[in-house]
Chains A and B, each alone.
Chain A
Amino acid sequence: MSNTIHDMGGMHGFGPVEEEANEPVFHTKWESRVYAMNRAMGPLRLWTIDEGRAAQEALHPAVYTNASYYQRWLLGLEARALQHGLVTKDELSSGKALEENDRPNRIFKAEDAANLTRSSFDRDPQGEPVFKAGDKVRTLNINPQGHTRLPRYARDKIGEVEAVRGCHVFPDSVANGKGDDPQWLYTVVFDGQVLWGSDAEPGIKISIEAFEPYIEAI
Chain B
Amino acid sequence: MSIDEDRGQDHSHGHSHEHGEMSELSDTQLRVRSLETVLAEKGYVDSAALDAIVEAYETRIGPQNGARVVARAWADPEFRRALLEDASTAVNTMGNVSPVGSHLIAVENTVERHNMVVCTLCSCYPWEVLGLPPTWYKSAPYRSRAVLEPRAVLSEFGVTLPDETEVRVWDSTAETRYIVIPERPEGTDGWSEEQLAELVTRNSMIGTGLAQRPDGKTEDS
**A→B interface (CB under 8 Å):** 6-12, 14-20, 23, 25-26, 28-30, 32-37, 39-41, 44, 49, 53, 56, 60, 62-63, 65-67, 69, 71, 74-75, 77-78, 81, 86-87, 91-97, 101, 103-104, 107-113, 115-122, 149-151, 153-154, 165-166, 168-169, 171, 185, 187, 189, 195-196, 201-211
Contacts and interface: CB of A to CB of B under 8 A. Distances in A.
Given A206-B168, A208-B171, 5 more contacts: A11-B140, A75-B6, A119-B102, A153-B148, A206-B169
A205 B35 contact: no
B38 A16 contact: no
Contacts of B164: 203
11 contacts: A9-B143, A9-B146, A17-B141, A26-B58, A30-B29, A37-B36, A37-B50, A53-B122, A60-B5, A153-B148, A211-B174
Select the residue from B99, B100, B168, B177 with max chain A CB neighbours within 10 A.
Answer: B168
A207 B169 contact: yes
A87 B38 contact: yes
Interface string B155-186: 01100000111111111111111000000000
Contact of A35 (B34, B57, B147): B57
Nearest to B126: A118
Given A9-B148, A40-B53, A115-B99, A92 B172 contact: no
Interface of B: 1-3, 5-7, 13, 25, 28-39, 41-46, 48-58, 61-62, 98-103, 105, 118, 120-123, 127-128, 131-132, 134-136, 138-153, 156-157, 163-177, 221
A151 B173 contact: yes
Contact of B175 (A29, A41, A108, A168): A168
Contact of A66 (B2, B143, B168): B2
A205 B176 contact: no
Contact of A6 (B39, B122, B166): B122
Contacts of A74: 3, 28, 31-32, 35
B37 A201 contact: no
Given A17-B136, A66-B3, A207 B168 contact: yes
Given A28-B25, A87-B38, A96-B37, A118 B56 contact: no
A171 B153 CA distance: 29
A17 to B, nearest CB: 5
B156 to A, nearest CB: 5
Q: Say whether chain A's binding surface is mostly helix, strand, loop, or mixed.
A: mixed
A35 B54 contact: yes
Contacts of A17: 136, 139, 141-142, 145, 153, 156-157
Contact of B141 (A14, A20, A60, A169): A14
Given A108-B49, A109-B49, A77 B35 contact: yes
A110 B52 contact: yes
Contact of A119 (B32, B101, B172): B101
